Amino acid sequence: MTHLVILPILIPLLTGASLLLLYATPVGVQRRVSIASTLALTLLGVWAVSTAGSGELTLYHLGDWPAPFGIVLVLDRLSAIMLSLTAGLSLFCVLYASRGIDRQGAHFHALFQFQLAGINGAFLTGDLFNLFVFFEILLIASYALLLHGGGRARSRAGLHYVIINLVSSALFLLALGTLYGVTGTLNMADLALAVAATPAAGQPLLTAASMLLLVVFGIKAAVLPLLFWLPRAYSASSAPVAALFAIMTKVGVYAILRVFLLVFGLGESPANQVAWGWLWPLALLTLGLGGIGALGSASLRTMTAYLVILSVGTLLATISFVSAATLGAALFYLIHSTCMTAVFFLLADLLGQQREQGYDRFSDIAPMGHRWLLGSVFFIAAISMAGLPPFSGFVSKLWILQATSGQPQGFWLWGVLLAAALLILVAVSRAGSGWFWRPGTMAAPRPLDRVCMWLVCLMIGVSAGLSALGEPVINYLELTAEQLLAPQAYIDAVLPESARLAREVAP
Protein backbone atom coordinates (compact mmCIF):
# COMPACT_ATOMS: atom_id res chain seq x y z
CA MET A 1 0.00 0.00 0.00
CA THR A 2 1.48 3.29 -1.05
CA HIS A 3 1.06 6.31 1.18
CA LEU A 4 1.31 8.73 -1.74
CA VAL A 5 -2.45 8.59 -2.29
CA ILE A 6 -3.29 10.45 0.91
CA LEU A 7 -0.63 13.14 0.37
CA PRO A 8 -2.85 15.39 -1.83
CA ILE A 9 -5.04 15.80 1.27
CA LEU A 10 -2.35 15.81 3.95
CA ILE A 11 0.11 18.25 2.34
CA PRO A 12 -2.30 21.21 2.00
CA LEU A 13 -3.91 20.42 5.37
CA LEU A 14 -0.57 20.49 7.20
CA THR A 15 0.67 23.46 5.17
CA GLY A 16 -2.50 25.38 5.96
CA ALA A 17 -2.17 24.61 9.67
CA SER A 18 1.49 25.61 9.76
CA LEU A 19 0.72 28.80 7.82
CA LEU A 20 -1.61 29.74 10.67
CA LEU A 21 1.35 29.38 13.03
CA LEU A 22 3.59 31.34 10.64
CA TYR A 23 1.12 34.22 10.73
CA ALA A 24 3.63 36.64 12.23
CA THR A 25 6.38 35.87 9.67
CA PRO A 26 6.95 38.15 6.67
CA VAL A 27 4.52 37.61 3.81
CA GLY A 28 7.39 36.40 1.59
CA VAL A 29 7.88 33.32 3.78
CA GLN A 30 4.17 32.53 3.73
CA ARG A 31 4.12 32.84 -0.05
CA ARG A 32 7.09 30.52 -0.45
CA VAL A 33 5.56 27.87 1.82
CA SER A 34 2.24 28.07 0.01
CA ILE A 35 3.83 27.92 -3.46
CA ALA A 36 6.05 24.99 -2.39
CA SER A 37 3.00 23.05 -1.20
CA THR A 38 1.13 23.77 -4.43
CA LEU A 39 4.17 22.70 -6.47
CA ALA A 40 4.30 19.44 -4.52
CA LEU A 41 0.61 18.94 -5.32
CA THR A 42 1.32 19.49 -9.01
CA LEU A 43 4.03 16.81 -8.93
CA LEU A 44 1.61 14.49 -7.11
CA GLY A 45 -0.94 15.24 -9.82
CA VAL A 46 1.52 14.10 -12.48
CA TRP A 47 2.23 10.97 -10.43
CA ALA A 48 -1.51 10.32 -10.03
CA VAL A 49 -2.17 10.63 -13.77
CA SER A 50 0.66 8.25 -14.66
CA THR A 51 -0.28 5.74 -11.91
CA ALA A 52 -3.97 5.70 -12.76
CA GLY A 53 -3.10 5.48 -16.46
CA SER A 54 -2.41 1.75 -16.08
CA GLY A 55 -6.13 1.22 -15.46
CA GLU A 56 -5.50 -0.26 -11.99
CA LEU A 57 -7.21 1.44 -9.03
CA THR A 58 -4.90 2.58 -6.25
CA LEU A 59 -6.51 2.19 -2.83
CA TYR A 60 -5.65 3.64 0.55
CA HIS A 61 -7.37 2.21 3.63
CA LEU A 62 -7.30 4.83 6.39
CA GLY A 63 -6.11 3.19 9.62
CA ASP A 64 -5.88 -0.07 7.61
CA TRP A 65 -9.55 -0.87 8.23
CA PRO A 66 -10.97 -3.10 5.50
CA ALA A 67 -13.20 -1.48 2.88
CA PRO A 68 -16.86 -1.39 3.88
CA PHE A 69 -16.03 -0.57 7.53
CA GLY A 70 -13.24 1.96 7.29
CA ILE A 71 -12.90 4.95 5.00
CA VAL A 72 -11.17 4.19 1.74
CA LEU A 73 -9.47 6.58 -0.68
CA VAL A 74 -9.66 5.52 -4.32
CA LEU A 75 -7.47 6.85 -7.10
CA ASP A 76 -8.87 6.06 -10.53
CA ARG A 77 -8.42 7.86 -13.86
CA LEU A 78 -11.16 10.42 -13.20
CA SER A 79 -9.80 11.31 -9.74
CA ALA A 80 -6.30 11.59 -11.19
CA ILE A 81 -7.44 14.00 -13.92
CA MET A 82 -9.33 16.14 -11.44
CA LEU A 83 -6.42 16.14 -8.96
CA SER A 84 -3.90 17.27 -11.56
CA LEU A 85 -6.29 19.86 -12.99
CA THR A 86 -6.86 21.32 -9.51
CA ALA A 87 -3.14 21.32 -8.76
CA GLY A 88 -2.22 23.03 -12.04
CA LEU A 89 -4.95 25.64 -11.69
CA SER A 90 -4.11 26.35 -8.05
CA LEU A 91 -0.43 26.84 -8.93
CA PHE A 92 -1.38 29.63 -11.35
CA CYS A 93 -3.82 31.12 -8.83
CA VAL A 94 -1.39 31.13 -5.91
CA LEU A 95 1.35 32.69 -8.07
CA TYR A 96 -1.08 35.37 -9.27
CA ALA A 97 -2.27 36.03 -5.72
CA SER A 98 1.34 36.33 -4.53
CA ARG A 99 1.73 39.46 -6.67
CA GLY A 100 -0.17 41.47 -4.07
CA ILE A 101 -3.78 40.35 -3.76
CA ASP A 102 -2.93 38.09 -0.81
CA ARG A 103 -2.10 41.17 1.27
CA GLN A 104 -5.62 42.58 1.08
CA GLY A 105 -6.58 40.54 4.14
CA ALA A 106 -5.24 38.05 6.64
CA HIS A 107 -4.57 34.31 6.19
CA PHE A 108 -5.02 34.14 2.41
CA HIS A 109 -2.53 31.31 1.92
CA ALA A 110 -3.78 29.24 4.87
CA LEU A 111 -7.36 29.45 3.56
CA PHE A 112 -6.16 28.63 0.06
CA GLN A 113 -4.44 25.46 1.27
CA PHE A 114 -7.48 24.36 3.30
CA GLN A 115 -9.59 24.87 0.19
CA LEU A 116 -7.22 22.62 -1.79
CA ALA A 117 -7.36 19.97 0.95
CA GLY A 118 -11.14 19.93 0.74
CA ILE A 119 -11.23 19.76 -3.07
CA ASN A 120 -8.60 17.00 -3.28
CA GLY A 121 -10.35 15.02 -0.54
CA ALA A 122 -13.66 15.21 -2.37
CA PHE A 123 -11.97 13.84 -5.51
CA LEU A 124 -10.26 10.97 -3.69
CA THR A 125 -12.73 9.63 -1.17
CA GLY A 126 -14.67 6.43 -1.74
CA ASP A 127 -17.12 7.01 1.11
CA LEU A 128 -20.27 9.08 0.77
CA PHE A 129 -20.24 10.53 4.30
CA ASN A 130 -16.58 11.37 3.91
CA LEU A 131 -17.54 13.21 0.70
CA PHE A 132 -19.90 15.31 2.82
CA VAL A 133 -17.10 16.11 5.29
CA PHE A 134 -14.72 17.18 2.50
CA PHE A 135 -17.51 19.26 0.93
CA GLU A 136 -17.84 21.09 4.24
CA ILE A 137 -14.06 21.65 4.44
CA LEU A 138 -13.91 23.11 0.95
CA LEU A 139 -17.06 25.16 1.58
CA ILE A 140 -15.95 26.78 4.83
CA ALA A 141 -12.60 27.65 3.25
CA SER A 142 -14.43 29.05 0.21
CA TYR A 143 -16.72 31.20 2.41
CA ALA A 144 -13.68 32.85 3.96
CA LEU A 145 -11.84 33.15 0.63
CA LEU A 146 -14.88 34.74 -1.00
CA LEU A 147 -14.97 37.37 1.77
CA HIS A 148 -11.20 37.88 1.60
CA GLY A 149 -10.37 41.53 1.19
CA GLY A 150 -13.71 42.70 2.59
CA GLY A 151 -16.16 45.18 1.12
CA ARG A 152 -19.91 45.56 0.88
CA ALA A 153 -20.39 43.57 -2.34
CA ARG A 154 -18.52 40.61 -0.87
CA SER A 155 -20.50 40.62 2.36
CA ARG A 156 -23.77 40.68 0.48
CA ALA A 157 -22.79 37.94 -2.00
CA GLY A 158 -21.18 35.93 0.80
CA LEU A 159 -24.37 35.86 2.85
CA HIS A 160 -26.36 34.35 -0.01
CA TYR A 161 -23.62 31.88 -0.84
CA VAL A 162 -23.24 30.69 2.76
CA ILE A 163 -26.97 30.32 3.44
CA ILE A 164 -27.73 28.38 0.27
CA ASN A 165 -24.81 26.06 0.91
CA LEU A 166 -25.90 25.46 4.51
CA VAL A 167 -29.32 24.43 3.20
CA SER A 168 -27.65 22.13 0.68
CA SER A 169 -25.58 20.56 3.49
CA ALA A 170 -28.81 19.85 5.38
CA LEU A 171 -30.26 18.19 2.27
CA PHE A 172 -27.05 16.17 1.80
CA LEU A 173 -27.38 14.82 5.36
CA LEU A 174 -31.05 13.95 4.79
CA ALA A 175 -30.07 11.98 1.68
CA LEU A 176 -27.27 10.20 3.56
CA GLY A 177 -29.61 9.33 6.43
CA THR A 178 -32.14 7.87 4.00
CA LEU A 179 -29.48 5.88 2.16
CA TYR A 180 -28.04 4.54 5.40
CA GLY A 181 -31.50 3.72 6.74
CA VAL A 182 -32.36 1.67 3.63
CA THR A 183 -29.02 0.00 2.89
CA GLY A 184 -26.96 0.14 6.11
CA THR A 185 -23.74 1.28 4.44
CA LEU A 186 -22.12 4.47 3.14
CA ASN A 187 -19.11 3.06 1.30
CA MET A 188 -19.78 3.90 -2.36
CA ALA A 189 -18.87 0.46 -3.75
CA ASP A 190 -20.83 -1.37 -1.05
CA LEU A 191 -23.70 1.08 -1.51
CA ALA A 192 -23.82 0.31 -5.24
CA LEU A 193 -24.34 -3.41 -4.54
CA ALA A 194 -26.85 -2.68 -1.78
CA VAL A 195 -28.86 -0.29 -3.97
CA ALA A 196 -29.01 -2.84 -6.79
CA ALA A 197 -30.18 -5.55 -4.34
CA THR A 198 -32.84 -3.42 -2.63
CA PRO A 199 -36.34 -4.92 -2.97
CA ALA A 200 -39.05 -2.98 -4.78
CA ALA A 201 -40.52 -1.69 -1.50
CA GLY A 202 -37.35 0.30 -0.79
CA GLN A 203 -37.00 1.73 -4.30
CA PRO A 204 -39.08 4.91 -3.82
CA LEU A 205 -36.97 5.86 -0.79
CA LEU A 206 -33.79 5.29 -2.79
CA THR A 207 -35.09 7.37 -5.68
CA ALA A 208 -35.96 10.15 -3.23
CA ALA A 209 -32.46 10.01 -1.76
CA SER A 210 -30.89 10.06 -5.23
CA MET A 211 -32.96 13.10 -6.21
CA LEU A 212 -31.94 14.87 -2.98
CA LEU A 213 -28.32 14.17 -3.88
CA LEU A 214 -28.96 15.54 -7.37
CA VAL A 215 -30.27 18.77 -5.82
CA VAL A 216 -27.22 19.01 -3.53
CA PHE A 217 -24.74 18.44 -6.35
CA GLY A 218 -26.85 20.68 -8.58
CA ILE A 219 -26.39 23.54 -6.11
CA LYS A 220 -22.63 22.93 -6.12
CA ALA A 221 -22.48 22.66 -9.91
CA ALA A 222 -25.01 25.50 -10.51
CA VAL A 223 -27.77 23.83 -12.56
CA LEU A 224 -30.67 26.01 -13.65
CA PRO A 225 -33.08 26.52 -10.77
CA LEU A 226 -30.20 26.41 -8.29
CA LEU A 227 -27.66 28.75 -9.86
CA PHE A 228 -28.69 32.26 -8.90
CA TRP A 229 -26.12 32.56 -6.13
CA LEU A 230 -23.25 32.10 -8.58
CA PRO A 231 -22.95 35.27 -10.71
CA ARG A 232 -22.95 37.59 -7.71
CA ALA A 233 -20.59 35.46 -5.61
CA TYR A 234 -18.06 34.83 -8.39
CA SER A 235 -18.03 38.40 -9.64
CA ALA A 236 -17.60 39.80 -6.12
CA SER A 237 -14.57 37.70 -5.17
CA SER A 238 -10.98 38.67 -5.94
CA ALA A 239 -9.44 37.47 -9.22
CA PRO A 240 -7.31 34.48 -8.07
CA VAL A 241 -10.11 33.27 -5.79
CA ALA A 242 -12.65 33.43 -8.61
CA ALA A 243 -10.17 31.59 -10.85
CA LEU A 244 -9.84 28.84 -8.24
CA PHE A 245 -13.63 28.74 -7.89
CA ALA A 246 -13.73 27.73 -11.58
CA ILE A 247 -12.94 24.22 -10.30
CA MET A 248 -15.63 24.36 -7.57
CA THR A 249 -18.59 23.92 -9.90
CA LYS A 250 -16.65 21.02 -11.42
CA VAL A 251 -16.56 19.37 -7.98
CA GLY A 252 -20.36 19.21 -8.26
CA VAL A 253 -20.10 17.72 -11.76
CA TYR A 254 -17.54 15.20 -10.49
CA ALA A 255 -19.87 14.19 -7.63
CA ILE A 256 -22.75 13.72 -10.08
CA LEU A 257 -20.56 11.51 -12.28
CA ARG A 258 -19.23 9.49 -9.38
CA VAL A 259 -22.49 8.97 -7.49
CA PHE A 260 -24.87 8.45 -10.39
CA LEU A 261 -22.58 6.27 -12.49
CA LEU A 262 -21.35 4.14 -9.58
CA VAL A 263 -23.77 4.16 -6.64
CA PHE A 264 -27.01 4.21 -8.62
CA GLY A 265 -25.64 2.66 -11.79
CA LEU A 266 -25.97 -1.09 -11.17
CA GLY A 267 -28.84 -3.47 -11.83
CA GLU A 268 -31.20 -4.07 -14.72
CA SER A 269 -33.16 -0.85 -14.31
CA PRO A 270 -30.65 1.37 -12.51
CA ALA A 271 -31.92 4.04 -10.14
CA ASN A 272 -30.05 6.76 -12.02
CA GLN A 273 -32.51 6.79 -14.96
CA VAL A 274 -34.76 9.28 -13.14
CA ALA A 275 -31.79 11.55 -12.47
CA TRP A 276 -30.60 11.54 -16.10
CA GLY A 277 -34.18 12.28 -17.20
CA TRP A 278 -34.24 15.42 -15.06
CA LEU A 279 -30.68 16.45 -15.77
CA TRP A 280 -31.00 16.57 -19.55
CA PRO A 281 -33.64 19.36 -19.94
CA LEU A 282 -32.29 21.31 -16.94
CA ALA A 283 -28.74 21.22 -18.30
CA LEU A 284 -29.98 22.39 -21.71
CA LEU A 285 -31.83 25.31 -20.10
CA THR A 286 -28.73 26.12 -18.01
CA LEU A 287 -26.69 26.21 -21.20
CA GLY A 288 -29.14 28.61 -22.84
CA LEU A 289 -29.35 30.83 -19.77
CA GLY A 290 -25.55 30.98 -19.57
CA GLY A 291 -25.41 32.30 -23.14
CA ILE A 292 -28.14 34.91 -22.56
CA GLY A 293 -26.59 35.94 -19.23
CA ALA A 294 -23.15 36.38 -20.82
CA LEU A 295 -24.69 38.67 -23.43
CA GLY A 296 -26.61 40.69 -20.85
CA SER A 297 -23.98 41.14 -18.15
CA ALA A 298 -22.59 44.53 -17.29
CA SER A 299 -19.01 43.66 -16.39
CA LEU A 300 -16.35 41.20 -17.55
CA ARG A 301 -16.38 39.34 -14.23
CA THR A 302 -20.16 38.83 -14.35
CA MET A 303 -19.84 37.71 -17.96
CA THR A 304 -17.21 35.15 -16.94
CA ALA A 305 -19.49 33.93 -14.14
CA TYR A 306 -22.16 33.28 -16.77
CA LEU A 307 -19.55 31.51 -18.90
CA VAL A 308 -18.99 29.21 -15.90
CA ILE A 309 -22.74 28.51 -15.88
CA LEU A 310 -22.67 27.90 -19.62
CA SER A 311 -19.80 25.43 -19.26
CA VAL A 312 -21.68 23.53 -16.53
CA GLY A 313 -24.75 23.36 -18.76
CA THR A 314 -22.70 22.04 -21.69
CA LEU A 315 -20.98 19.50 -19.47
CA LEU A 316 -24.10 18.11 -17.85
CA ALA A 317 -26.07 18.05 -21.11
CA THR A 318 -23.25 16.04 -22.72
CA ILE A 319 -22.90 13.78 -19.69
CA SER A 320 -26.61 12.93 -19.62
CA PHE A 321 -26.21 11.01 -22.90
CA VAL A 322 -24.24 8.45 -20.80
CA SER A 323 -22.06 6.84 -23.46
CA ALA A 324 -18.30 6.38 -23.64
CA ALA A 325 -17.90 8.85 -26.52
CA THR A 326 -19.90 11.68 -24.91
CA LEU A 327 -18.28 11.19 -21.48
CA GLY A 328 -14.83 11.50 -23.02
CA ALA A 329 -15.85 14.64 -24.89
CA ALA A 330 -17.37 16.08 -21.71
CA LEU A 331 -14.16 15.49 -19.74
CA PHE A 332 -12.10 17.23 -22.44
CA TYR A 333 -14.52 20.15 -22.31
CA LEU A 334 -14.22 20.16 -18.50
CA ILE A 335 -10.45 20.65 -18.68
CA HIS A 336 -10.75 23.31 -21.37
CA SER A 337 -13.56 25.27 -19.71
CA THR A 338 -11.90 25.26 -16.28
CA CYS A 339 -8.69 26.68 -17.78
CA MET A 340 -10.43 29.29 -19.89
CA THR A 341 -12.88 30.61 -17.27
CA ALA A 342 -9.93 30.93 -14.88
CA VAL A 343 -8.03 32.84 -17.59
CA PHE A 344 -10.97 35.20 -18.02
CA PHE A 345 -11.26 35.91 -14.28
CA LEU A 346 -7.54 36.74 -14.13
CA LEU A 347 -7.72 38.73 -17.37
CA ALA A 348 -10.62 40.80 -16.00
CA ASP A 349 -8.40 41.86 -13.11
CA LEU A 350 -5.38 42.49 -15.35
CA LEU A 351 -7.40 44.62 -17.79
CA GLY A 352 -9.33 46.37 -15.04
CA GLN A 353 -6.12 47.58 -13.42
CA GLN A 354 -4.98 49.15 -16.69
CA ARG A 355 -8.20 51.05 -17.40
CA GLU A 356 -8.41 54.65 -16.37
CA GLN A 357 -11.83 54.23 -14.78
CA GLY A 358 -14.64 51.72 -14.41
CA TYR A 359 -12.43 48.69 -13.64
CA ASP A 360 -14.16 45.90 -15.60
CA ARG A 361 -17.53 47.53 -16.32
CA PHE A 362 -18.63 47.58 -19.95
CA SER A 363 -20.57 50.85 -19.65
CA ASP A 364 -17.44 52.93 -19.07
CA ILE A 365 -15.39 53.79 -22.11
CA ALA A 366 -12.00 54.63 -20.72
CA PRO A 367 -8.51 54.85 -22.16
CA MET A 368 -6.40 51.78 -21.51
CA GLY A 369 -2.70 51.33 -20.99
CA HIS A 370 -0.70 48.74 -22.98
CA ARG A 371 -3.62 48.55 -25.38
CA TRP A 372 -1.93 46.48 -28.11
CA LEU A 373 -0.46 43.83 -25.83
CA LEU A 374 -3.55 43.37 -23.66
CA GLY A 375 -5.81 43.56 -26.69
CA SER A 376 -3.96 40.75 -28.45
CA VAL A 377 -4.08 38.55 -25.34
CA PHE A 378 -7.79 39.22 -24.90
CA PHE A 379 -8.38 38.45 -28.58
CA ILE A 380 -6.65 35.07 -28.35
CA ALA A 381 -8.40 34.17 -25.09
CA ALA A 382 -11.76 35.15 -26.57
CA ILE A 383 -11.16 32.98 -29.65
CA SER A 384 -10.46 29.99 -27.43
CA MET A 385 -13.46 30.71 -25.20
CA ALA A 386 -15.87 31.08 -28.11
CA GLY A 387 -14.72 27.76 -29.56
CA LEU A 388 -13.11 28.97 -32.79
CA PRO A 389 -10.09 27.16 -34.26
CA PRO A 390 -7.22 26.57 -33.55
CA PHE A 391 -7.57 26.35 -29.74
CA SER A 392 -8.88 23.71 -27.35
CA GLY A 393 -12.33 25.29 -27.30
CA PHE A 394 -12.78 24.31 -30.93
CA VAL A 395 -11.51 20.75 -30.44
CA SER A 396 -13.71 20.15 -27.39
CA LYS A 397 -16.82 21.56 -29.03
CA LEU A 398 -16.20 19.58 -32.22
CA TRP A 399 -15.77 16.41 -30.19
CA ILE A 400 -19.03 17.04 -28.30
CA LEU A 401 -20.90 17.65 -31.57
CA GLN A 402 -19.37 14.57 -33.18
CA ALA A 403 -20.14 12.34 -30.18
CA THR A 404 -23.78 13.42 -30.01
CA SER A 405 -24.50 13.52 -33.76
CA GLY A 406 -25.90 9.96 -33.94
CA GLN A 407 -28.26 10.37 -30.98
CA PRO A 408 -31.92 11.40 -31.38
CA GLN A 409 -31.53 14.11 -28.70
CA GLY A 410 -28.34 15.35 -30.32
CA PHE A 411 -30.33 17.74 -32.51
CA TRP A 412 -31.37 19.77 -29.45
CA LEU A 413 -27.87 19.90 -28.04
CA TRP A 414 -26.46 20.99 -31.41
CA GLY A 415 -28.98 23.82 -31.66
CA VAL A 416 -28.59 25.18 -28.15
CA LEU A 417 -24.81 24.71 -28.04
CA LEU A 418 -24.22 26.50 -31.35
CA ALA A 419 -26.68 29.29 -30.49
CA ALA A 420 -24.94 29.79 -27.15
CA ALA A 421 -21.56 29.86 -28.92
CA LEU A 422 -22.88 32.62 -31.18
CA LEU A 423 -24.06 34.58 -28.12
CA ILE A 424 -20.60 34.25 -26.51
CA LEU A 425 -18.99 35.40 -29.73
CA VAL A 426 -21.21 38.51 -29.79
CA ALA A 427 -20.60 39.16 -26.08
CA VAL A 428 -16.80 38.91 -26.23
CA SER A 429 -16.53 40.89 -29.46
CA ARG A 430 -18.69 43.64 -27.97
CA ALA A 431 -16.48 43.68 -24.87
CA GLY A 432 -13.28 43.68 -26.92
CA SER A 433 -14.30 46.35 -29.41
CA GLY A 434 -15.68 48.58 -26.66
CA TRP A 435 -12.49 48.38 -24.66
CA PHE A 436 -9.72 48.30 -27.20
CA TRP A 437 -10.95 50.09 -30.36
CA ARG A 438 -13.09 53.00 -29.26
CA PRO A 439 -11.01 54.67 -26.53
CA GLY A 440 -7.46 55.85 -27.14
CA THR A 441 -4.28 54.80 -25.38
CA MET A 442 -3.76 56.12 -21.86
CA ALA A 443 -1.33 59.03 -21.81
CA ALA A 444 0.66 57.73 -18.84
CA PRO A 445 0.06 53.97 -18.62
CA ARG A 446 0.39 52.28 -15.25
CA PRO A 447 3.17 49.71 -14.96
CA LEU A 448 2.03 46.28 -16.15
CA ASP A 449 2.81 43.38 -13.82
CA ARG A 450 4.97 41.16 -16.06
CA VAL A 451 4.58 38.04 -13.90
CA CYS A 452 0.77 38.23 -13.96
CA MET A 453 0.91 38.81 -17.71
CA TRP A 454 3.10 35.76 -18.22
CA LEU A 455 0.84 33.63 -16.02
CA VAL A 456 -2.20 34.47 -18.11
CA CYS A 457 -0.27 33.87 -21.35
CA LEU A 458 0.95 30.51 -20.04
CA MET A 459 -2.60 29.45 -19.19
CA ILE A 460 -3.75 30.35 -22.70
CA GLY A 461 -0.71 28.40 -23.92
CA VAL A 462 -1.99 25.36 -22.01
CA SER A 463 -5.27 25.73 -23.87
CA ALA A 464 -3.42 25.89 -27.19
CA GLY A 465 -1.27 22.92 -26.17
CA LEU A 466 -4.40 20.89 -25.40
CA SER A 467 -5.47 21.20 -29.01
CA ALA A 468 -2.00 20.80 -30.55
CA LEU A 469 -1.02 17.75 -28.49
CA GLY A 470 -4.56 16.59 -28.02
CA GLU A 471 -4.20 12.96 -29.08
CA PRO A 472 -2.66 11.48 -25.89
CA VAL A 473 -5.11 13.50 -23.80
CA ILE A 474 -8.06 12.30 -25.88
CA ASN A 475 -6.90 8.68 -25.62
CA TYR A 476 -6.56 9.02 -21.84
CA LEU A 477 -10.02 10.56 -21.54
CA GLU A 478 -11.61 7.83 -23.68
CA LEU A 479 -10.14 5.21 -21.35
CA THR A 480 -11.42 7.24 -18.39
CA ALA A 481 -14.93 7.21 -19.82
CA GLU A 482 -14.76 3.43 -20.28
CA GLN A 483 -13.60 3.03 -16.68
CA LEU A 484 -16.48 5.20 -15.47
CA LEU A 485 -19.02 3.14 -17.35
CA ALA A 486 -17.75 -0.13 -15.83
CA PRO A 487 -18.67 0.30 -12.15
CA GLN A 488 -18.33 -3.43 -11.46
CA ALA A 489 -14.54 -3.21 -11.87
CA TYR A 490 -14.44 -0.38 -9.29
CA ILE A 491 -16.49 -2.47 -6.85
CA ASP A 492 -14.32 -5.56 -7.38
CA ALA A 493 -11.20 -3.53 -6.68
CA VAL A 494 -12.52 -1.73 -3.60
CA LEU A 495 -14.45 -4.44 -1.79
CA PRO A 496 -12.83 -7.68 -0.61
CA GLU A 497 -14.51 -10.80 -1.92
CA SER A 498 -16.09 -11.70 1.44
CA ALA A 499 -17.93 -8.38 1.58
CA ARG A 500 -19.21 -8.82 -1.98
CA LEU A 501 -20.50 -12.33 -1.29
CA ALA A 502 -22.19 -11.20 1.94
CA ARG A 503 -24.05 -8.58 -0.05
CA GLU A 504 -25.22 -11.06 -2.66
CA VAL A 505 -26.80 -13.56 -0.22
CA ALA A 506 -28.38 -10.81 1.92
CA PRO A 507 -32.11 -10.34 1.27
Partner 1 sequence: MELLYAITLGVLTSCGIYLLLRARTFTVILGLTLLSHAVNLYLFASGRLVSSAPAIVGLADHSADPVPQALVLTAIVIGFAMTAFVVVLALKAAVELRNDHVDGENPDEDRP
Could you list the residues that contact partner 1 (CB under 8 A)?
129, 133, 136, 140, 143, 147, 151-152, 155-156, 158-160, 162-163, 166-167, 169-170, 173-174, 176-178, 180-181, 184, 186
Residue 170 beta carbon to partner 1: minimum distance, rounded to whole angstroms: 5
Nearer to partner 1, 205 or 285 (CB): 205
- Distance in angstroms (rounded) separating the CA atoms of residues 507 and 504: 8
Nearer to partner 1, 263 or 420 (CB): 263
Residues 6+ apart with CB under 8 A from 227: 286, 289, 309, 312
- Enclosing H/E stretch for 60: strand 58-61
Residue 218: HSE in the Cβ half-sphere, 13 Å Cα cutoff = 22
Residue 351 beta carbon to partner 1: minimum distance, rounded to whole angstroms: 27
Nearer to partner 1, 229 or 245 (CB): 229
In the 3-class helix/strand/coil scheme, how is 486-503 assigned residue by residue? CHHHHHHHHCCHHHHHHH
Helix (H, G, I), strand (E, B) or coil at 355: strand
Residue 408 beta carbon to partner 1: minimum distance, rounded to whole angstroms: 40
Q: DSSP letter string over 31-46?
A: HHHHHHHHHHHHHHHH
Residue 234 beta carbon to partner 1: minimum distance, rounded to whole angstroms: 17
Residue 164 beta carbon to partner 1: minimum distance, rounded to whole angstroms: 10
- Distance in angstroms (rounded) separating the CA atoms of residues 44 and 82: 12
- Distance in angstroms (rounded) separating the CA atoms of residues 157 and 147: 9
Residues 33 and 75: beta-carbon distance below 8 Å? no
Nearer to partner 1, 147 or 284 (CB): 147
Nearer to partner 1, 4 or 140 (CB): 140
Residue 280 beta carbon to partner 1: minimum distance, rounded to whole angstroms: 29
Nearer to partner 1, 173 or 425 (CB): 173
Residue 242 beta carbon to partner 1: minimum distance, rounded to whole angstroms: 19
Nearer to partner 1, 140 or 366 (CB): 140
Continuous H helices in 228-299? 230-236, 239-245, 248-258, 272-296
